[in-house]
Amino acid sequence: MNSLYIASTEGGGGKTTLAVGLCLALRSRGVDAGYFKPVGVAEQGQYDDDAVFAADILRLTEDPGDLCPVVLHDNALRAAGSALQDDAMDRVVDAFQRSVVVHDVLICEGLGEIWQGRFLRLSGADVVARLDLRALLVAKFAGTRQLDDVCYTHDVLRKRLLGVVFSMVPETRIEVVEHHYTPFLAENGIISYGILPSDSQLLAVPVADIAAALDGRFIVGEEWSDALAESYLIGAMSAEHALSYFERAPNKVVVVGGDREDLILAALRTPTAALVLTGSYVPTPAVLERATDAHVAVISVDGDTVAAADGLRRLFGRLRVHEHSKIDRIGHLVEEHIAVDALLAALQ
């Protein structure tokens, strides 16, 4: 059986979601599917986070270095002219050969966008060609411009590209993708294997990650740092409009000046995962007691509201699947929305 490379038109679009979900779906069909990531990035430690997560969820026994044999660090660019460039692909090939004999098929997750890693001759196109893989493209919804990205990828990969999966598609745009994008791509020889709708549960960010990203400190509620925030709102309105505004979104994080106790109390009257208080202000004990009673974490940051909002903007809008609580959701989405049996037939 051919192994499958999961490519993407941009980072954060759902490659890990699809890779792990396909492994689970194939295993439920009696196919021993393993995971492999030729090139990864280590933000902390020596291993790629996606590979570590997949190994845990799928209970893989391979050496972590074989699951992701080339890991880029901050000094990767400086290493481009060194021995790393010379032997990187050989390391990928050797690790792949050790892993592929253990399983019926390997689901290989690409690095960021398909052209990333080109400076080491390890782009998605390079890896697919060298390992003789078939590819499935994840296209994060971005309007009609993503059709250019899909067609360009098809031109690069040619017959190695099995087709495309659209990801993070808003419910209001699913019909457009089904009835306009999919037929257009089919006319150009590109098969659609499904549409993953935008899912608030998979986009949710743990409160602990929010605090870390903003260099914040917990005033109260650190014990609820594993709660998930599905969106964020900025509290910068008059008190009379605050309640109706905060009622718009459940399970949210609210960014508000620490001296605006009227807005803080309004947010606490609605479903809220955390409060981010800017300006290093600490509310009165009565307000903190209200937050504790509501099981809402309160995080203080030194910067202003604009800086905090910018930090949250970078956190949200990416599929985040590294929490065990999301695994059942991933499996459900893949089974319901992806043509797994058609993919399996294509790989055979």
Q: Where are the domains of the chain?
A: 4-199+320-347, 205-315
Q: Which fold has domain 205-315?
A: 3.40.1390
% of the chain with per-residue pLDDT over 90: 56
Look up residue 132 and give its DSSP letter.
Answer: T
Whether the pTM exceeds 0.85: the reply is no
What is the distance between the alpha carbons of residues 276 and 263, in angstroms, rounded to a whole number? 12
Tokens encoding 13: 């679009």
Task: Return the pLDDT at 23.
Answer: 96
What is the distance between the alpha carbons of residues 91 and 320, in angstroms, rounded to a whole number? 28
Task: Return the pLDDT at 77.
Answer: 47
Task: Return the pLDDT at 44.
Answer: 63
Q: Which CATH number fits domain 4-199+320-347: 3.40.50.300, 3.40.50.720, 3.40.50.620, 3.20.20.70?
A: 3.40.50.300
**Positions in the chain whose pLDDT score sits under 50:** 77, 79-81, 83
Task: Return the pLDDT at 279.
Answer: 87
Task: Return the pLDDT at 81.
Answer: 47
Task: Return the pLDDT at 277.
Answer: 95
User: Could you give phi then psi for residue 125, rounded to 5 degrees?
Assistant: -65, -40
Burial of residue 42, with CB atoms counted within 10 A of its CB: 0-12 exposed, 13-18 middle, 19 or more buried: middle
Task: Return the pLDDT at 87.
Answer: 81
Task: Return the pLDDT at 80.
Answer: 47
pLDDT digits (tens, 9 = 90+) for 21-68: 999 999 999 999 999 999 988 766 678 888 888 898 899 999 888 999
Task: Return the pLDDT at 324.
Answer: 67
At residue 53's C-alpha, the angle toward residues 21 and 325, to 5°, is: 65
CA atoms within a 13 Å half-sphere pointing along the CA-CB vector of 16: 25
